[in-house]
């Protein structure tokens, strides 16, 4: 297929590469990231040009305003779309804004699927992403062969655009609170005089075991905070959670507390570190570093 792919960052570049390696032709316009040297793609002048050249357009961009600008502004994807084409947004953004943008595409006869992902850079490179989708069954069926090139766990969460974004927000709440819990546990154990590596090893064999304890617990102990998923992007996702919760009249007290710890890290200039760096906010409160 002729696929437009906009957003060649940490996640998007390996996803586009997997699609190209599967035999698809890639068209792009550069957003913030340069064209990777190992990705063969036709670089066009605007998102509208990408849409005109493509049967399907995929975007994966940092935040809601980025997606709105690329899709809806003058020279945007919507301008170049024709009836019968397919729009897939794999960014993690507002479910409310997603639903509004999808209506504009539907008015032009364009199917729209929101399909945010989880799995990080490793999952993107290994084509092992979890993909959470919102859209009609027909649109999802059209997108599924492409999703299968990029991911493993692919679920149609709901039949209206925005459902995938809601699921991604739920994912990010769980991940953030798990990172906070592991951080608290390791800071507590270390300040009490235990070897945090030994504590982590013991906990990995019990009910407290988790991917976060396995991967991010090791990062915290080894002090390897080079970003797999930047803290500022998780901040953005928790902001979406809290904004949506206010609309729904849902209390998310622990999400709010965890967001404050992320804010504290950002205030120290750590927003570009891995989100496992959340532990440093708790270390400062305890006046104790676990590593």
Q: What is the pLDDT of residues 92-138, one digit of tens each?
A: 999 999 999 999 999 999 999 999 999 888 899 999 999 999 999 99
Q: Are strands 56-59 and 86-89 parallel, antiparallel or unpaired?
A: parallel
Name the CATH architecture for the domain at 166-286: Orthogonal Bundle (1.10)
**How many Å is the maximal CA-CA distance in the chain?**
65
14 band by pLDDT with thresholds 50, 70 and 90: very high
Which one of 85, 168, 232, 236 is the catalytic residue? Answer: 168
Name the CATH architecture for the domain at 2-160: 3-Layer(aba) Sandwich (3.40)
Shortest CA distance to 102 belongs to which of 171, 60, 159, 148? 159
Give pTM, 2 decimals. Answer: 0.90
User: Rounded to whole angstroms, how far apart are CA atoms 242 and 248?
Assistant: 10
Portions of the chain given CATH number 1.10.1040.10 = 166-286
Residue 38: helix, strand or coil by DSSP? Answer: coil
Contact 33, 13 (CB under 8 A): yes
Q: What is the pLDDT of residue 249?
A: 97
* Residue 191 bears catalytic tag: no
User: Rounded to whole angstroms, how far apart are CA atoms 156 and 13?
Assistant: 24
Express each pLDDT in 246-280 by its tens digit.
999 999 999 999 999 999 999 999 999 999 999 99
Portions of the chain given CATH number 3.40.50.720 = 2-160
Q: Are strands 25-28 and 117-118 parallel, antiparallel or unpaired?
A: unpaired
């Amino acid at each position: 297929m002729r696929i437009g792919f906009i957003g060649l960052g940490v996640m998007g570049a390996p996803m586009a590469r997997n699609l190209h390696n599967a035999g698809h032709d890639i068209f792009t316009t550069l957003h913030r990231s340069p064209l990777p040297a190992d990705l063969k793609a036709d670089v066009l002048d605007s998102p509208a040009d990408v849409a005109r050249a493509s049967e399907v357009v995929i975007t994966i961009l940092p935040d809601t305003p980025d997606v709105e600008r690329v899709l809806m502004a003058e020279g945007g994807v919507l301008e170049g779309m024709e009836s019968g084409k397919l729009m897939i947004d794999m960014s993690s953004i507002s479910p409310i804004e997603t639903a509004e943008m999808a209506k504009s595409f539907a008015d032009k006869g364009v199917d729209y699927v929101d399909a945010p992902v989880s799995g990080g850079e490793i999952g993107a490179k290994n084509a092992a992403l979890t993909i959470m989708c919102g859209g009609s069954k027909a649109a999802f069926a059209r997108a599924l062969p492409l999703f299968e090139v990029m991911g493993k766990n692919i679920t149609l969460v709901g039949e209206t655009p925005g459902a995938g974004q809601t699921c991604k927000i739920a994912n990010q709440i769980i991940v953030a609170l798990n990172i906070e819990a592991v951080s608290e546990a390791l800071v507590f154990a270390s300040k009490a005089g235990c070897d945090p590596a030994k504590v982590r090893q013991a906990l990995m064999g019990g009910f407290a075991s988790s991917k976060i304890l396995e991967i991010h617990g090791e990062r915290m102990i080894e002090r390897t905070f080079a970003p797999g998923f930047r803290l500022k992007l998780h901040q953005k996702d928790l902001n979406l959670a809290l904004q949506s919760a206010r609309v729904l009249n849902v209390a998310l007290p622990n999400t709010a507390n965890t967001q404050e710890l992320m804010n504290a890290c950002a205030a120290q200039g750590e927003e570009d570190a891995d989100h496992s760096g959340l532990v440093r906010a708790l270390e400062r409160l305890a006046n104790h570093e676990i590593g």
